[in-house]
Structure 1
Amino acid sequence: MTDQMQCITLAQRPFGAPKDEDFALETRDIPTPGEGEVLVRVHYMSLDPYMRGRMNDAKSYAEPVPIGGVMEGGGCGEVIASNDPSYAPGDMVFGMFGWATHGIQPGNMLRKLDPRVPITTSLGVLGMPGFTGWYGLTELGKPKKGETLVVAAATGPVGSMVGQIAKARGLRTVAIAGGADKCALATEKFGFDAAIDHRAHSDASSLRKELAAACPDGIDIYFENVGGKVFEAVLPLMNRFGRIPVCGMISGYNATEMPEGPDRFPMFWSTVLIKHLTASGFIISNHFDLYPAFLQEVVPMISSGQVAYLEDIAEGIENAPRTFMGLLEGKNVGKQIVKLI
């Protein structure tokens, strides 16, 4: 076994969209696990939009990545040394190893993977993104048969889970995605009833007209992943007592200043008031007590083909920064993963 590893560190804090020079590829010695710790050779690592926020030195729900620190993220791989009796060399596990070829975690921070499913599912459909979609819809969206759901970023690992669970529960499902190819994926692979290309519309008013035609009975649940003009298009179409689980706002992750149009904020609050809407922000790390219930419902649906998933796999840790930049621009098709071995 080689005694060195590679990792991607944060070289400087980005201003706006991340650039090559914001990252550094480093070679380090492989650390030695201490008492109760496990050393893992990472096979695949996850790239997710939330990582952009961790690059900022701003108060948030988690500490930012320090300058020179390894970029944060989940990964799955093989145990190669263990000081925890629950894990043995050869076990396949998931953990928060960061953007690195190797990582150490306490055994109680790892999750042993089910050998019956591909290990990459721990990063997407059966991991944090899939669980995020399931939780946000079922616990905050409170879906009821016959209602209409709209979800933005609908072909990603979160949005596609939301749409498929909603469909299984008898809702009309409408996808918003970027580009004709992703719209086709939404209806043909993930079973949405309709799909709308937000890139075909220059403003919220135009998008709203097409959305209104796809939602003749209005919108009961809007699962928010995007913000921006998509949210502006959706809001007036919400039905009374509608629910808005707020998962992310990717349209603003690279913003360097407040968006134009402060008068939009009063419009939001007045709509919430008049239509008795519930908008609920959530951070999924606060809700992992429900993860077993998620697996109980979703694993059989994956096995039967009722829930489909799609993975976009890049290769090589050196390509992680560019792949991440593309993810923020919507260039990925499905759950973005980087293969390391």
Structure 2
Amino acid sequence: MDKNHRIVLAARPEGAPRMGDFRLEEQDKPAPQHGQVLLRTLYLSLDPYMRGRMSDAKSYAPPIPLGEVMVGGTVSEVAESAHPDFRPGDLVLANAGWQTYALSDGSDLTPLAGLPRPSLALSLLGMPGFTAWHGLLKIGDPQPGETVVVAAASGAVGSVVGQIAKIKGARAIGIAGGPEKCRYVVEELGFDACLDRHDTDFARKLAEACPQGIDVYFESVGGEVFDAVLPLLNDGARVPVCGSIAHYNESEGGQGKDRLPALLSALVFRRIRIQGFIILDHYAEGFEPFRQDMSRWLREGKVTLREDVIEGLENAPAGLIGLLEGKNFGKAVVRVGEKAQLPKANNASAKKRKLRSPNDSLIN
């Protein structure tokens, strides 16, 4: 393993990404200098935000330069170390991106220990879980007996939103793509009901599932799903918005249906609060309370999450394309390397340390 394989952005997508927008390259494996560690990627997270980073449109984060490695969170193993705080064999949460090896000075690494499986650092105990926790509890604020509707309910964020809603005593109604996903949402995740967004009678069935209206709608999809939700929102409803995946692949000027007039009227007449959020803004004050809650719920068996594991770095582009088309079932992760043994809990590198960056997530 003297070579580093990496996938770079070859072209900016026009509409939906295609395989030709990515390029697989081979380089010599880098060597760590003083104060650096060489990371070997075990798991790579695939997430919808990556589509935005492929574009050069103005956004909350800079675009990936053409020819540079695709960005992404990883669970990595320290392969070599010239850093006093890390030893070979340590597992860390990193931002190594779409490549088999990466160098780090350690400032963006979070030691991992005590997880049932390492990839949980990319899902329940990582960014997707934190997105669900913050958006629902800090913006949605569900009360016992209220109705919470969750878009993309079988996905990495939505599946966690509904489970937290149930923990807080609310009704959880999911929306997912297909009967199999809907069965999973109800039978495995414990939602009260789940509606297939592909059903030709979807809007009517959603209304029947929400006879008292909708108090909280967790939005990550947009499009026709939002069209069906909007008339059902109660006075004072709260709508946390973490994405709009139905629109990510729209080309410039392809805005489709004009939903603005109906939306503005509903916001005023029903005093609805819609709030978008970027989870990167909330790590400093919010991640530790989230970690404590989610770790406890995980130990108590109150939360679970299905992983959609893609084998091999070379299949990451197809995995992302499929995710943006709704073909994934659960949290999409790429298994890049062989699973390593977790470090022991008393490993010196696994000590807690103060939050210093969005990745410094204190998972233990």
The normalised TM-score by structure 1 is 0.96
1:3-51 superposed Cα distances (whole Å, 9 cap, x missing partner)? 3210100111111111111100000122233443322101110111110
**1 CA distance for matches of 2:277 and 2:83?**
33
Matches within 5 A, 1:14-163: 14-163=13-162
Residue 312 of structure 2 is matched in structure 1 by: 316
SS in 1 for 2:260: helix
**2 CA distance for matches of 1:228 and 1:106?**
42
**2 CA distance for matches of 1:223 and 1:296?**
22
Residue 245 of structure 1 is matched in structure 2 by: 240
SS in 2 for 1:70: coil
Deviation at 1:88, TM superposition (A): 1.4
C-alpha spacing 1:20/1:116, structure 2 compared with 1 (3 Å): closer
Residue type at the aligned position of 1:44: Y
**1 CA distance for matches of 2:324 and 2:280?**
21
Residue type at the aligned position of 1:216: P
1:41-62 superposed Cα distances (whole Å, 9 cap, x missing partner)? 0111011111011111111000
Is 1:208 aligned to 2:203, yes or no?
Answer: yes
SS in 2 for 1:21: helix
Is 1:295 aligned to 2:291, yes or no?
Answer: yes
SS in 2 for 1:13: coil
Residue type at the aligned position of 1:186: V
The RMSD of aligned alpha carbons is 1.2
1:87-129 superposed Cα distances (whole Å, 9 cap, x missing partner)? 2111100111111111122312111112342100011111111
- In structure 2, which of residues 334, 338, 344 is the aligned counterpart of residue 338 of structure 1? 334
**2 CA distance for matches of 1:158 and 1:4?**
35
1:275-328 superposed Cα distances (whole Å, 9 cap, x missing partner)? 111111111111112111111011121122110111010111111111111111
**1 CA distance for matches of 2:257 and 2:74?**
40
Unaligned ranges ≥5, structure 2: 338-364
C-alpha spacing 1:272/1:36, structure 2 compared with 1 (3 Å): farther
Residue type at the aligned position of 1:212: A
Using the TM superposition, name which of 178-187 and 317-326 deviates more: 317-326
SS in 2 for 1:64: coil
The count of corresponding residues between Structure 1 and Structure 2 is 335
SS in 1 for 2:12: coil
**2 CA distance for matches of 1:293 and 1:8?**
35
**2 CA distance for matches of 1:130 and 1:258?**
32
Residue type at the aligned position of 2:222: G
Is 1:305 aligned to 2:301, yes or no?
Answer: yes
Unaligned ranges ≥5, structure 1: none
Deviation at 1:71, TM superposition (A): 0.4
Residue type at the aligned position of 1:80: A
Deviation at 1:136, TM superposition (A): 0.5
1:208-229 superposed Cα distances (whole Å, 9 cap, x missing partner)? 2111110111000000010000
Deviation at 1:86, TM superposition (A): 2.1
**1 CA distance for matches of 2:61 and 2:212?**
39
SS in 1 for 2:107: helix
Residue type at the aligned position of 1:313: V
Is 1:273 aligned to 2:268, yes or no?
Answer: yes
**2 CA distance for matches of 1:215 and 1:39?**
52
Residue type at the aligned position of 1:258: G
Query: Percent identity between the aligned chains?
Result: 49
**1 CA distance for matches of 2:67 and 2:215?**
45
Residue 176 of structure 2 is matched in structure 1 by: 177
- Higher RCO (Cα < 8 Å, 6 or more apart): 2
Residue 286 of structure 1 is matched in structure 2 by: 281
**2 CA distance for matches of 1:106 and 1:232?**
47
1:173-193 superposed Cα distances (whole Å, 9 cap, x missing partner)? 000000000000000111100
SS in 2 for 1:107: coil
SS in 1 for 2:133: helix
